[in-house]
Amino acid sequence: MQEKDWLIRWQKNQIGFHDAEVNSHLKKYISASDLKPGDTIFLPLCGKSADITWLAEQDFQVIGVELSAIAIESYFSEQGLSFDRVESGRFITRSSRNIHLLEGSFFDLRHQDLGDCSLVYDRASLIAFDEPTRTRYAQWMRSIIGNDTDILLVTLDYNQSEMNGPPFAVSTHEIMRHFESAFQIDIIRQTEIVDESPRWRSKGLSSLVESVYQLGEK
Ligand SMILES: C[S@@+](CC[C@H](N)C(=O)[O-])C[C@H]1O[C@@H](n2cnc3c(N)ncnc32)[C@H](O)[C@@H]1O
């Protein structure tokens, strides 16, 4: 998937990854965390996720980055939120109160765009990329967040020969390879979910394991 392919997906509304519900792992993680109102949470490759609104309602500062203007404008219109629009060199930023969505590429982000971010919430972001791009993503992420920023990471793993990505299969071994030099990695949960939606079996999958990782200070 090239960047233009994602833009076409949004134009054609081919967004099977979008979940209208707030992610249950995110809710559990936040309620058990010591994050405080006003802390910044960054959503890479945010789409028009319902999680943005839920996090904003918990009084966090929410920053998302997303390639597609359609995704971002749909987010604000579906949530009934008006926004301010500011164009800078690398991004067009649309903001509504404590929500700031940057239209542009994750790979153009710099540390100053995120400031002192407390948590990265990655749902379906790392797994949106093929393996070479995942390596680049992990390295870029480490370069733009602070040393004390945790990552809540939700991934999928399956037999890659049974289906073409995205979502791509990502193993725990690969997560270790990308992140263990910089983070303490805890597996919060690993669950077989192949029967949670009929679409997975219809795509040919015999197993689909969802993993939730906490990447924290070593
Ligand atoms: C699988 S979707 C996940 C969206 C969201 N995290 C969610 O849970 O609904 C991946 C999203 O990343 C966006 N995307 C792909 N490459 C990107 C990049 N380099 N920078 C920013 N967004 C990107 C796509 O347009 C798409 O909306």
Q: What is the distance in angstroms between the CA of the first residue and the CA of the last residue of the chain?
A: 33
| Residues lining ligand 1, Cβ inside 6 A | 3, 6, 10, 17-18, 45-47, 49, 65-68, 71, 105-107, 123-125, 128, 166
Decide if pLDDT at 1 tops 90.
Answer: no
Domain over 3-216 is classified CATH 3.40.50.150: yes
101, 142 Cβ separation under 8 angstroms: no
Q: Which amino acid appears at position 68 of this protein?
A: S
Ligand 1 atom closest to Cα of residue 18 = 9
Ligand 1 pocket test, pick from 55, 66, 70, 123 with the greatest ligand atom count within 8 Å of Cβ, gives: 66
Mind listing the pLDDT tens digit for each residue in 173-206? 999 999 999 999 999 999 999 999 999 999 999 9
Distance CA 143, CA 151 (A): 13
Q: How far is the CA of 180 from the centre of ligand 1 (A)?
A: 24
Q: What pLDDT is attached to residue 20?
A: 93
Mind listing the pLDDT tens digit for each residue in 136-168? 999 999 999 988 999 999 999 999 999 999 999
Structure tokens at 117: 């971010």
Distance CA 75, CA 82 (A): 10
Residue boundaries of the structural domains of the chain? 3-216
% of residues, the chain, pLDDT over 90: 97
Q: What pLDDT is attached to residue 147?
A: 87
**Residue 151 three-state SS:** strand
Q: What pLDDT is attached to residue 172?
A: 98
Mind listing the pLDDT tens digit for each residue in 3-33? 999 999 999 999 999 999 999 999 999 999 9
Q: What pLDDT is attached to residue 126?
A: 98
This prediction's pTM? 0.97
43, 49 Cβ separation under 8 angstroms: yes
